[in-house]
Amino acid sequence: MATNSAVKAAKSFLNTTGFSPEPTLLEQYVKCLSEDGLVEEAVDVYNALKETGISPSVVTSNAVLLGCLKARKLHLFWELHKGMMESEVDLERIRCLIQALCDGGEVSEGYELLKQGLKQGLDPGHDVYAKLISGFCKIGNYACMSEILHTMIAWNHFPNLYTYNEVIKGLCKNKKHVEAFCIFKSLKEKGYAPDRVVYTTMIHGLCEKGWLGSARKLWFEMIKKGMQPNELTYNVMIHGHLKRGEFVLAGEFYSEMLRKGYKETTVSCNTVISGFCSHGKSDEAFEFFKKMSETGVAPDAITYNALIQGFCKENKVEKGMKVYKELKALGLKPSVVTYAALVRNLKMSDSVETSLNF
């Protein structure tokens, strides 16, 4: 792979001398530009080659397509691909096309292309399967996700922990916690050793479902295996207990998090404030909010919106309006839910609503 300085030197030489290299050298230049992230320049040279009647090799064509993908320039990718429709489709091209389809949200089309390739004996490899699995998890299509998982294993590509984590996260996100927990347990049975990321994902899913007993069991299992919870893992448990109104347990986890050396952050403070507000404890939330400035933690729009909604929920509109004015003074925006809560509580006229400058 060419270094950035080498590519710049080549560009400067060609631009200043007007030298016209042999097509093979130009193709090498296209590959270097693509690998170095200079996609527009690579496309220009590639198109110039074609205009002179030269057909770039499959390797060169794939290199420039891959460059477009890495630079997240899908429009350029598909423009180039239109001009390559008659060229040979090899394994690398299939990989590029499936990734482009997944990146563009057309994961089902990517799956069809995978099946076509496999019929021809073209196996695109582990990363492509993982990309498709992740894509189907995002749209909640677990039938196709499961099919790809089985196909992947049948072609001797064994999912890694990252892929399984994506599956578990996707299942939990779409309220399929039982299925997620089954996959998590099967991991250990298959000889995998779930890491802290996978444990945290599963603990989060169990907390969201309200299965705090199972979540705590995994918490202690993780620690027993030598994996210490990080700030995210603590935040997940704190949120889970607050969601259930178990403030004492949530406080114990919060205090332990600080004792372990993790500092308070905007995210952790928002978790506590939102938890208090959702259970009619907006005054306690406000006291916690005031301590944020003492510890140097900056509130954000989520902090203010949670407080305003909490006050409105308890009909403490004056306090809500005070926080609202502070929100606006900082240049932050109220959410649609926050604005609706204020309007509903104050029973404002249209003219007063307009004065909020929302």
Q: What pLDDT score does 326 carry?
A: 92
Neighbouring residues of 322: CB distance < 8 A, sequence distance ≥ 6: none
CB 118 within 8 A of CB 152: no
> For residues 318, 320, 321 and 325, what is the CA-based torsion angle, rounded to 10 degrees?
140
DSSP string, 239-276: HHHHHTT-HHHHHHHHHHHHHTTPPP-HHHHHHHHHHH
Over residues 206-215, mean pLDDT: 94
Share of the chain above pLDDT 70, in %: 90
Which is more confident, 14 or 274? 274
Indicate the SS3 state at residue 204.
helix
Please provide residue 12's backbone torsions phi and psi, each rounded to the nearest 5 degrees: -65, -40
CB 306 within 8 A of CB 339: no
Neighbouring residues of 186: CB distance < 8 A, sequence distance ≥ 6: none
pLDDT level of residue 2 (50, 70, 90 thresholds): very low
Q: What does pTM read for this prediction?
A: 0.74
Task: Tell me, rounded to whole angstroms, the distance of Cα 335 from its chain centroid.
Answer: 22
Residue in 158, 235, 167, 229 with CA at minimum distance from that of residue 199: 229
CB 133 within 8 A of CB 148: yes
State the Cα–Cα distance between residues 79 and 82, nearest whole angstrom: 5
Residue in 64, 74, 63, 80 with CA at minimum distance from that of residue 99: 74
State the Cα–Cα distance between residues 136 and 145, nearest whole angstrom: 6
105: number of Cβ within 10 Å: 12
pLDDT level of residue 21 (50, 70, 90 thresholds): low
